[in-house]
Structure 1
Amino acid sequence: MPYSDLLLDNRTPLALADKLEQLVDCVRQSLDGVAGELVSATCETLGYATPNFTTAGIYRLHGRWRSGQALLSWSLILKIVKPDSEEKNNPAHHNYWRREPLVFESRLLETLPPVIGSARSYLVEHQPDGTLWLWMEHVQGRYPEAQWEFDAIARRLGSMGGAYAGGKPLPEEPWICREWLRSWVTASRRYAPRPASYLEGPMPDGERRIQSWFESFSRKLDLHLETILRLPRVLAHQDLSQMNMLLRTDMSGDEQLVLIDWQFMSLSGVGEDLGKLYGVNMSLGVIPIEQFEAFGSSLYRSYIAGLREAGWPGDDRLARYGFCLSTAARSVWEVPQYFALAAQRQEAPHDSVVLARMERLARIIEAYMTLAREAERLQVAVAGQLADSVIAKSYN
């Protein structure tokens, strides 16, 4: 047996012993083609609290590789994606299940502007059970925590967006989502909780105010989703949670931003991706409540600086509109979550966990309300630039 001396420690249910040839090839790629043999391999699960519906598992493999007299350490990631509901089998869906494998197979990430790095792809493997195994680089870096780190990321996002908005050809692959925000809003409306008995009964004035605003914003949102399609288009990641952004130092000593998990890749309006970054990191508790406003303002200034550095000469109100609307649209999911918690509180009024979650969501929703009002003003202000007859008619 060619691997009879291999020390294999498999701590997962994967049939890894049947994948040793693939493993050896991927390890060799991770070591830039260094000749040698696999000495040891350990496979363990990487636990994530909120995996994607199309993710069957994420695993880390690591061990030793012998090259001559040297023993080299190696590490890589295996991500397994799977089919889910029928809607996610549509390339137009924001969570099309095959998108990330197609991103890797196309080598599209190698064409990104140099301000953004990505994990190297070693192998995309189609399995008999219909799953896809993605063997990729284990990116070792740190997650952003401080505001200055998020600002640096926002600046790089702006620089990437400015490259595309300024003339870099957009990729044309049909599996890249073209209307990401509309698809996400549609799915959120479909699956968001609706505690009807609570919403139809008496509630505190503050909650009634949120409900009234949300109903008004929801009526206007479809028109906003038409408007945002007319913004300058950029390539977007659309899943910029803290754990999908890694900062590492390259061989020259410069800091590099690496974005992982491109499942939501889209062609989006300028500013949209920044709104997702801001909103999702508020929701996940990464941005402290008392810093919401200052954090958002600083992110936006940094993003605009990146756009300008890339040479984009456009009206920054276009990017501001994309940012404001993308952030405010998250209310489609989070306002229903807030009222679901309110219904729970009615049953358990002293539940400290529910009360704390409600307090945070209330502050987040306040931020959404402020940005939604600004988006409405900007929608009118930039209508002429976007040659949008739909908007013009709606305000006559």
Structure 2
Amino acid sequence: MTTAKTEKDIKIDPDYLQSLLRRVVSSQNLQLLSWNCSPLGENKEESSVYRVSCIALDNDRKQNYTMILKILKPDPMRNQINHYYYWKREALVYRSGILNQLPLGIKAPLCYTVEEHPDENVSIWLEDIAIENVQSEWSFKHMCKISYLLGKYNGAYITGTTLPTESFLCHNWMRSWVEVCAAYAKPIEEQKVIWDSCLIDFNGKSSMWELYRINRDRVNSLLETLELLPRVFAHQDVHWDNIFIEQLNGNDSLIAIDWQFASISGVGEELGRMFGYALLKKKVPVNKVAEYKEELFLNYMQGLRDKGWDGNFKLARFGFTATASLRFIMVIDKMLSNLEVDDKINQKEKSSHQLLVAQILLDLAEESWNLRSQIL
């Protein structure tokens, strides 16, 4: 039996790998001949992902098999079960089996096993889904499809599908995320100094600072209202690397990977997270933001309605706008940090985009504040 690893730090016991393959393919005669391990994406401090490719002899025939190995690394800063990014959550989600009970129209990779190691790392062995064969481009049309399918997925839980009750799921995801962002942000007094020194670059946007200050004071009230919305089981990390569309029996269906943010959240939050991130990453053009915002929400609402939810649409609208808007806490601090560096000219283009995004997010915060008074 030979081993051809491309990552010298990955130690896999060949006997273990063979026994795992035998369980996966239901063949006790399978003999592992060779295997190699190739990284997928960049290794991160918190996790790394690999494709493990195997050649095995099964009933005198050579067969090729692949699996995905995701390794989670312990982090004392993310060791609280109510942290939005609790380091061990994804392993617990897969091991619990709750992803095998997702409603029709969304699926996750099969989990073959979860291993805990003496060094406290946790390995998740997963089905290798051929995502290159499914739709992953993030055009406007594609995002509308995703929004509709997210509405159906979320809608299933507010029309009868039982919510998972496992304690390791985050029940105050947005609150935790906001608290972490606020902890990393500069104090507002320091932000004001940078803002005032750069007003000339902002074309005199002094009124925007006042809008920012007002909405900083409203954050806790927005979070409290989010926590009163109808609850759904949410993925909470919907973007182009994690969510894909496949055709099943002529119908669009979601494939979702990376469940580290799995949570019990309010209706609309899932879409708000997707929209805010896509806006920051230029998947939503700032000059077309109104069109994207309305169409994505209409598609999400249609998904909710098609699952039978006849509740007040303003609840979902608040979940969407409030969640997207709360990204302003991070965006404005990043923008000001960029402008604080000495070479402001090279930072100006990047900061200009962040400024436009911040203005959109603050406008969304205003909309959500007005909605809040209507739904309470």
TM-score, with length taken from structure 2: 0.91
Structure 2 unaligned blocks of 5 or more: none
Q: 1:379 to 1:128 in 2, by over 3 A?
A: same
Question: What CA RMSD, in Å, does the superposition of the two structures yield over aligned residues?
Answer: 2.1
Candidates 57, 61, 77, aligned match of 1:66: 57
Offset from partner CA, 1:18-42 (integer Å, 9 cap, x none): 4223322443455465953223311
Aligned counterparts of 2:27 and 2:210: Cα–Cα separation in 1: 61
Give the drift of 1:200.
Answer: 5.5
Q: Give the match for residue 365 of structure 2.
A: 372
Q: Give the match for residue 297 of structure 2.
A: 300
Q: Which moved more, 1:283-292 or 1:254-263?
A: 283-292
Corresponding pairs, count: 368
Structure 1 unaligned blocks of 5 or more: 1-5, 384-396
Q: 1:15 to 1:181 in 2, by over 3 A?
A: closer
Q: Give matches, 1:200-215, under 5 Å.
A: 201=197, 203-204=199-200, 205-215=203-213
Does the CA contact (< 8 Å) of 1:188 and 1:332 recur in 2?
yes
Offset from partner CA, 1:321-364 (integer Å, 9 cap, x none): 000000000111111011112223xx22431xx22321221221
Q: Which moved more, 1:313-322 or 1:359-368?
A: 359-368
Q: Give the match for residue 54 of structure 1.
A: 46
Candidates 68, 90, 107, aligned match of 1:77: 68
Aligned counterparts of 2:319 and 2:123: Cα–Cα separation in 1: 35
Aligned counterparts of 2:90 and 2:102: Cα–Cα separation in 1: 15
Aligned counterparts of 2:27 and 2:372: Cα–Cα separation in 1: 53
Offset from partner CA, 1:363-394 (integer Å, 9 cap, x none): 211221221111011101111xxxxxxxxxxx
Q: Which moved more, 1:363-372 or 1:19-28?
A: 19-28
Q: Which moved more, 1:158-167 or 1:302-311?
A: 158-167
Offset from partner CA, 1:226-262 (integer Å, 9 cap, x none): 1111110111111112101123345x56543111111
SS at match of 2:314: helix
Does the CA contact (< 8 Å) of 1:161 and 1:270 recur in 2?
yes
Q: Which moved more, 1:200-209 or 1:171-180?
A: 200-209
Candidates 22, 32, 37, aligned match of 2:31: 37
Aligned counterparts of 2:250 and 2:25: Cα–Cα separation in 1: 20
Q: Give matches, 1:62-211, under 5 Å.
A: 62-86=53-77, 88-141=78-131, 142=134, 143-193=136-186, 196=191, 197-199=193-195, 201=197, 203-204=199-200, 205-211=203-209
Aligned counterparts of 1:288 and 1:69: Cα–Cα separation in 2: 56
Candidates 17, 21, 24, aligned match of 1:27: 21
Give the drift of 1:193.
Answer: 4.5
Does the CA contact (< 8 Å) of 1:81 and 1:97 recur in 2?
yes
Q: Give the match for residue 391 of structure 1.
A: none
Give the drift of 1:165.
Answer: 1.1
Q: Give the match for residue 236 of structure 1.
A: 234
Aligned counterparts of 2:174 and 2:166: Cα–Cα separation in 1: 18
Does the CA contact (< 8 Å) of 2:18 and 2:30 recur in 1?
no
SS at match of 2:345: coil
Q: Percent identity?
A: 28
Aligned counterparts of 2:332 and 2:109: Cα–Cα separation in 1: 35
Q: Give the residue type in structure 1 aligned to 2:33.
A: V
Q: Give the match for residue 392 of structure 1.
A: none
Give the drift of 1:285.
Answer: 2.8
Q: Give the residue type in structure 1 aligned to 2:245.
A: L
Q: Give the residue type in structure 2 aligned to 1:235.
A: F
Aligned counterparts of 1:350 and 1:15: Cα–Cα separation in 2: 43
Give the drift of 1:203.
Answer: 2.1
Aligned counterparts of 1:33 and 1:98: Cα–Cα separation in 2: 31
Does the CA contact (< 8 Å) of 2:198 and 2:339 recur in 1?
no
Q: Give the residue type in structure 1 aligned to 2:54.
A: G
Aligned counterparts of 1:193 and 1:19: Cα–Cα separation in 2: 47
TM-score, with length taken from structure 1: 0.87
Q: 1:32 to 1:154 in 2, by over 3 A?
A: farther
Q: Which moved more, 1:23-32 or 1:273-282?
A: 23-32
